[in-house]
């Protein structure tokens, strides 16, 4: 769906959206496509790139805020893949989900519990967008991305990381529950309802991101005993091009080292970083041995960063 398409739904324009966000279009899931199926598509490609089979996977971590089932969708992904040996669970940290998932996977690998861990970032936010709210509907798209993390005796390529949360700013971005009382008997009333569309305080989120993201990347680099000069590529959550540019400028990372594709996909939440990583790898931009700094940030509010050396 292009910006011009959106201008037929709400009072906006291609120029208004591009100048404020950097987004030109976004891809939306069809009505018959489940989050589990979309996740499995990305996972299948990641497993193939790693020259493994689904039966080699020990653990599946699905980072998502839009599961098909409130109880979780990771086990359904496991079934679709026929990854019969794998345990699977959902991880919810909104737009920070993939980074949090990657860090979580590293702990299982480092302790020797699992060797092959599939980390998927996937969201279908179009199902939770108010398409009459021009401040939010122009931002979001659907997508899924995945990586296969594998234990190695040669070197630990996850060089440094950091994670943070601040629940006091929860209201800045959420998909809140909305229910009403249902009386079951005298003295017993339960609350039943569903979730409301995405609400966001754009300026608050912007200020939060441009302040906290450079800090968390510097913390992760410190933990890795590296500096920004050692970074070959910067891949941020694809929320807004102005945020990406501002963070890169504060870190003094030149534009040619910044990977961005939100002009094509919009904000795909937990999927945005692995989508950008996958494209850059398949295009030959990112080479084995290069150091990547990545940061996710969003609802919660949560934010985190990971520094890793790419290897395949």
137 is catalytic: no
Q: Which two tokens stand for residue 178?
A: 């909305």
Coil vs helix vs strand at 205: helix
DSSP string for 159-189: EEEEEEE-GGGGGGEE--EEEEEEEEETTEE
Spatial separation of the C-alpha atoms in residues 108 and 88, rounded to whole Å: 13
Spatial separation of the C-alpha atoms in residues 144 and 77, rounded to whole Å: 12
How far are the Cα atoms of 50, 91, 238 from residue 275, in angstroms, in the given order?
16, 18, 10
237 is catalytic: yes
Please give the DSSP secondary-structure letter assigned to residue 267: B
Q: Which two tokens stand for residue 55?
A: 């039966």
Catalytic site residue from 95, 149, 174, 240 = 95
Q: Which two tokens stand for residue 45?
A: 């490609």
Contact between residue 278 and residue 261 where contact means Cβ atoms under 8 Å apart: no
The helix or strand, by DSSP H or E, that contains position 236, with its residue range, turns out to be strand 233-236
Catalytic site residue from 3, 174, 240, 267 = 267
Phi, psi of 246 (to 5 degrees): -65, -45
How far are the Cα atoms of 10, 116, 143, 232 from residue 122, in angstroms, in the given order?
27, 19, 6, 26
Give strand ranges (E) for 4-141: 59-63, 87-91, 116-124
Catalytic site residue from 116, 137, 237, 240 = 237
Spatial separation of the C-alpha atoms in residues 120 and 35, rounded to whole Å: 11
223 is catalytic: no
Spatial separation of the C-alpha atoms in residues 254 and 247, rounded to whole Å: 11
The helix or strand, by DSSP H or E, that contains position 134, with its residue range, turns out to be helix 134-137
Would you name the residues annotated as active-site residues?
A: 95, 237, 267
């Amino acid at each position: 769906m292009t910006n011009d398409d959106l201008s037929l739904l709400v009072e906006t324009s291609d120029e208004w959206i591009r100048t404020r966000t950097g987004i030109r279009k976004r891809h939306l899931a069809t009505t018959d496509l489940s989050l589990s199926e979309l996740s499995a598509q990305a996972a299948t490609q990641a497993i193939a790139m790693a020259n493994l089979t689904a039966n080699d996977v020990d653990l599946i971590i699905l980072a998502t805020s839009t599961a098909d089932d409130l109880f979780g969708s990771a086990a359904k992904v496991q079934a679709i893949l026929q990854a019969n040996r794998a345990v699977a669970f959902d991880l919810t940290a909104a737009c920070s989900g993939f980074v949090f998932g990657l860090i979580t996977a590293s702990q299982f690998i480092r302790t020797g519990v699992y060797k092959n861990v599939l980390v998927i970032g996937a969201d279908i936010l179009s199902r939770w967008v108010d398409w009459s709210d021009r401040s939010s509907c122009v931002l979001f798209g659907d997508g899924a991305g995945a990586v296969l993390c594998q234990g190695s005796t040669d070197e630990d390529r996850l060089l440094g990381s950091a994670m943070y949360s601040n629940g006091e700013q929860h209201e800045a971005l959420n998909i809140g529950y909305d229910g009403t009382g249902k009386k079951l008997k005298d003295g017993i009333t339960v609350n039943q309802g569903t979730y409301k569309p995405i609400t966001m305080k754009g300026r608050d989120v912007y200020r939060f991101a441009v302040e906290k993201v450079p800090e968390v990347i510097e913390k992760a680099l410190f933990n890795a005993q590296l500096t920004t000069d050692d970074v070959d590529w910067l891949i941020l959550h694809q929320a807004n091009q102005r945020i990406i540019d501002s963070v890169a400028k504060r870190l003094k990372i030149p534009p040619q080292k910044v990977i961005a594709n939100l002009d094509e996909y919009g904000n795909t939440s937990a999927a945005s970083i692995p989508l950008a990583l996958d494209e850059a790898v398949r295009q030959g931009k990112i080479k084995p041995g290069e150091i990547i700094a990545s940061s996710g940030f969003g609802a919660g509010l949560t934010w985190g960063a990971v520094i890793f050396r790419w290897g395949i």
